[in-house]
Chain A
């Protein structure tokens, strides 16, 4: 059983007595995973990150453990093993890219050579003497990641690292993170509100909604858990085929005049269902998969809003 690098048990937190921000929150981030922390804006992601990194003080912090021990006893020296970006990249704008790296390298006692290696990795080595004031958002993001990588941390805590990046930038960061995770075994905790991104990057997922954890576990498990796949078929007038559909015993809903939505158990059962439709003389003009994780996620978050 792999140990959990971050463990949060039954954490309750509120800024004031009127609103609970985190409600009996429990998270377990396994070592070596890329853990996606998913939730809407305002769900409590940043607050959780701030609590993990000790940026917010709380009364009894025994519910948060890092590397197996409560955080209170380890701050600040535990940060030697951690690189983090909370909310926005924080850089010294009046200093150059290189000087910013030097500051963190000095603090983490990292080798000078590491600075150049990382700058190459995040592709900022050719602008290292430029003042960060002049950097684009993407460059600032990359520099922050670079700074977080100094000192070979065992754990990276990244709060919305692809925020504001263009599609290419997002891909670059995703590939970079996966590379680091694979090559160095670094555990990465990413928070985001973009399900698609999490799906493509992470090995584990934790979903938070209104301060409560709705799901936590491996990504595959999530996908499997996401009940009912649906397929949408474009046909001609739906009402002509109602009788036939009842006959072949397939659950359906009319999405529109000409579209049918059919529930299927899993992806594997789609060909069989299609065969039945075709043999029942129901014309099929197009077929798309809908629902799945995204739908499930939308349902989930709308459940309490609805």
Chain B
């Protein structure tokens, strides 16, 4: 063993002599530091605007890093590895010196791994240069900055050390592939082509959604995603090392015995050894590759740390639908811990801090949720961990529009139902697969119950689409037989009619309602049918919840205060439990308060120059308010139409106001400064007071206040809606 080590050291020493005069080291270093230098150039050129965009203190090292890391990991480091590995091996082939080396007292092991080691040695130096140049450039930018109010020189040593380790280990797979191919094929162009082909293929595969989890270049880029558990290395680095071990084993045996047969198949002993070694490595590889799931806990518990720029000492766990407080606790020494005794069904809940900030979390019974919460700069930042790690950290969104929906809407395939059925079935199956495919940086996936829930949500969505299609088909072809998709039977079996966890899902409500009133062929309206059907259900929390949700919908859609009274009366008698009674009452009061004719609550706002406004200031004209925020995409789409409408109606006695509810006024100020607007741009002074008074649950929201200060319509359709103008005009008359 010692002799082998000595022998290997000799080989490594000699390899370092061989790379002299080749330019390999300098090329590697240039590739490594290329991107930081270029990005620094850009940052220095745009220094002023960069400084202005900083709202909270940020480390210059972090800032520069974020700009460089993707390009470096995805582009310059891979190229560095391909070129260096191929080049080092080429030195030997070009001079035909393999035979010189093989007639020296050098073990084949030393020759093979000595060369590999020198490649790693070059890579190591290049990475050090990358980090060094990054640090230097950051200090350069800091020195050049004129306003360092929001710029710090905080260097995260341990974080960067971990990153270095992860990048190095994550790169092994790529390095080994190129190395093994270079040794096998004396023409170095082949290995360079293979490397580049694999690199180019990555974005293409990604786009097609077919990039394997263990793809060599992906394992490299995974390094920038921090581990959820704060581990120094994640499954990604382990996979890289294992894959390298497999390739190096095969490559070395093949090289040392010269032929494939000699290396692996020659004798029983060899076959057995090969099978054992490779079998073991592959087994380990697949075990690491398989996703993990968190285990449930023995208590239902939420705990964590909490720091805030505001004074706050209470944390509330709220039911997402009925806004009921399920549990609460106080914050002591910047930490909180609450144990929930009631049975919590799996779903989305809200954790409320500071009375204004909330964080959505997914949890259920016997789940432990751990959070690190910071409120600064008017924003809530939280890191979530615990027994629902994957659920809270990956996007298993079922909130998208399937392409089949578009086809059904447009009735694109009305003449070819088979084609539509095929597309429907294929898209459904693909999306089901997608649900199981998202994972965290530590290779955790959501637990089975959560995935089942998401699958049900998806199934319901498709079932509703199918119903919509059938209805449309009836309209187009009243005489023809309705189409029957084979897969529907299977879908219907997947979703039941007492899925409590799905009640918050709009699609499920729609589905449930349609199913439950299907048998009722009487002449009354849908909503009456629905209440009657619900009433027939056994008295359970599920029934209560249904009644509560339906009551809210009815109240929201009511046209007059009197109608609201009626609805309240009806549901008051139906709902049994105190909790849901409270919910009903508070909704009723809120909606009534905001019903047509009632006096509009006061609004305090400020314009960009600092001038104060109040809603009362506009008495005498109609006020049309566009409630929006800089971070709201749909708002930004509606605002131009709002402006256009304002432009076209300059003569009318309407005051057009765009009211921002950005929590960070600076965001709004920047946005407004760059905008040339014909409408009055205001920012709400008190986010909480305003949104609560007007029950703003989502934006954009358009509200019309009359000249007397009374509410005309608290929730107009959006300007892009065809009805907008009509409703507006009729309201004004």
A90-B105 in contact (CB<8A)? no
B107-A90 in contact (CB<8A)? no
User: Given A92-B91, A95-B18, A99-B17, are A108 and B105 neighbors across the interface (CB < 8 Å)?
Assistant: yes
- How far, in whole Å, are A93 and B90 apart by their CA atoms in the complex? 13
On B, residues with C-beta under 8 Å from A are 10-11, 13-14, 17-18, 20-22, 91, 94-97, 99-100, 102-108, 257-259, 262
| Selected A-B contacts with CB under 8 Å, 30 pairs | A53-B102, A55-B99, A57-B259, A76-B102, A76-B105, A76-B106, A76-B108, A77-B105, A78-B105, A79-B103, A79-B105, A82-B103, A84-B103, A88-B96, A90-B95, A90-B97, A90-B99, A92-B97, A93-B95, A94-B21, A94-B22, A99-B20, A102-B17, A103-B18, A106-B10, A106-B13, A107-B104, A108-B104, A108-B105, A131-B21
A80 at the interface (CB under 8 A from B): yes
Neighbouring A residues of B20 by C-beta, 8 Å: 95, 99
- How far, in whole Å, are A86 and B101 apart by their CA atoms in the complex? 12
B97-A95 in contact (CB<8A)? no
- How far, in whole Å, are A86 and B104 apart by their CA atoms in the complex? 12
Neighbouring A residues of B259 by C-beta, 8 Å: 57
- How far, in whole Å, are A257 and B20 apart by their CA atoms in the complex? 69
A91 at the interface (CB under 8 A from B): yes
A91-B97 in contact (CB<8A)? yes
Within 8 A of B (CB), among A53-94: 53-55, 57, 76-80, 82, 84, 86, 88, 90-94
- How far, in whole Å, are A80 and B108 apart by their CA atoms in the complex? 15
B18-A53 in contact (CB<8A)? no
- How far, in whole Å, are A10 and B18 apart by their CA atoms in the complex? 40
Neighbouring A residues of B105 by C-beta, 8 Å: 76-80, 107-108
- Nearest CB on A from B564, distance (A): 89
Neighbouring A residues of B94 by C-beta, 8 Å: 93
- How far, in whole Å, are A88 and B96 apart by their CA atoms in the complex? 9
A57-B257 in contact (CB<8A)? yes
- How far, in whole Å, are A104 and B262 apart by their CA atoms in the complex? 29
User: Given A92-B91, A95-B18, A106-B17, are A55 and B97 neighbors across the interface (CB < 8 Å)?
Assistant: no
- How far, in whole Å, are A226 and B130 apart by their CA atoms in the complex? 74
- Nearest CB on B from A38, distance (A): 22
Within 8 A of B (CB), among A91-146: 91-95, 99, 102-104, 106-109, 131
Neighbouring B residues of A92 by C-beta, 8 Å: 18, 91, 95, 97
Report which of B14, B96, B102 forms a contact with A103, defined as CB distance below 8 A: B14
Neighbouring A residues of B104 by C-beta, 8 Å: 76, 79, 104, 107-108
Within 8 A of B (CB), among A5-58: 53-55, 57
- Chain B, residue nearest A132 (CB): B95
Instruction: In the A-B complex, list the 8 residue pairs whose CB atoms are closest, starting with the nearest.
Output: A80-B105, A90-B100, A79-B105, A90-B97, A107-B104, A84-B103, A94-B21, A53-B103
- How far, in whole Å, are A54 and B95 apart by their CA atoms in the complex? 20
Report which of A54, A88, A91, A109 forms a contact with B102, defined as CB distance below 8 A: A54
- Chain B, residue nearest A56 (CB): B258
- Nearest CB on B from A84, distance (A): 5
Give the contact-size bracket for chain A.
20 to 34
Neighbouring A residues of B10 by C-beta, 8 Å: 106-107, 109
- Nearest CB on B from A156, distance (A): 12
- Chain B, residue nearest A83 (CB): B103
- Nearest CB on A from B10, distance (A): 6
Neighbouring B residues of A57 by C-beta, 8 Å: 257-259, 262
- Chain A, residue nearest B23 (CB): A94
- How far, in whole Å, are A80 and B6 apart by their CA atoms in the complex? 14
- Chain A, residue nearest B9 (CB): A106
Neighbouring B residues of A80 by C-beta, 8 Å: 105
B257-A55 in contact (CB<8A)? no
- How far, in whole Å, are A88 and B97 apart by their CA atoms in the complex? 10
B103-A55 in contact (CB<8A)? yes
B99-A107 in contact (CB<8A)? no
Neighbouring B residues of A106 by C-beta, 8 Å: 10, 13-14, 17
Neighbouring A residues of B102 by C-beta, 8 Å: 53-55, 76
Neighbouring A residues of B100 by C-beta, 8 Å: 90-91
- Nearest CB on B from A233, distance (A): 52
Q: Which of B11, B94, B99, B262 has the most CB of A within 10 A?
A: B99
- How far, in whole Å, are A104 and B96 apart by their CA atoms in the complex? 15
- Nearest CB on A from B25, distance (A): 14
Other 18 A-B pairs with CB < 8 A, given A57-B258, A94-B95, A107-B105: A55-B99, A57-B257, A76-B105, A76-B106, A76-B108, A79-B103, A79-B104, A80-B105, A82-B103, A86-B103, A88-B96, A91-B95, A93-B94, A95-B21, A106-B17, A107-B10, A107-B14, A108-B105
- How far, in whole Å, are A275 and B258 apart by their CA atoms in the complex? 67
- Nearest CB on A from B344, distance (A): 68
- Nearest CB on A from B244, distance (A): 25
- Chain A, residue nearest B108 (CB): A76
- How far, in whole Å, are A200 and B363 apart by their CA atoms in the complex? 94
Neighbouring A residues of B91 by C-beta, 8 Å: 92, 94
- How far, in whole Å, are A287 and B95 apart by their CA atoms in the complex? 52
- Nearest CB on B from A203, distance (A): 24
A76-B17 in contact (CB<8A)? no
Neighbouring A residues of B18 by C-beta, 8 Å: 92, 95, 103
- Chain B, residue nearest A87 (CB): B99
Question: What 1/0 flags go to A237-252 for Cβ under 8 Å of B?
Answer: 0000000000000000
B106-A107 in contact (CB<8A)? yes
- Chain B, residue nearest A151 (CB): B105
- Nearest CB on A from B243, distance (A): 29
- Chain A, residue nearest B109 (CB): A76
- Nearest CB on A from B260, distance (A): 12
- How far, in whole Å, are A94 and B105 apart by their CA atoms in the complex? 23
- How far, in whole Å, are A31 and B22 apart by their CA atoms in the complex? 42
- How far, in whole Å, are A179 and B168 apart by their CA atoms in the complex? 54
- How far, in whole Å, are A227 and B676 apart by their CA atoms in the complex? 115
Neighbouring A residues of B108 by C-beta, 8 Å: 76
Neighbouring B residues of A79 by C-beta, 8 Å: 103-106
- Nearest CB on A from B186, distance (A): 14
- How far, in whole Å, are A80 and B10 apart by their CA atoms in the complex? 13
- How far, in whole Å, are A103 and B17 apart by their CA atoms in the complex? 7
- Nearest CB on B from A201, distance (A): 22
Neighbouring B residues of A77 by C-beta, 8 Å: 105
- How far, in whole Å, are A94 and B21 apart by their CA atoms in the complex? 7
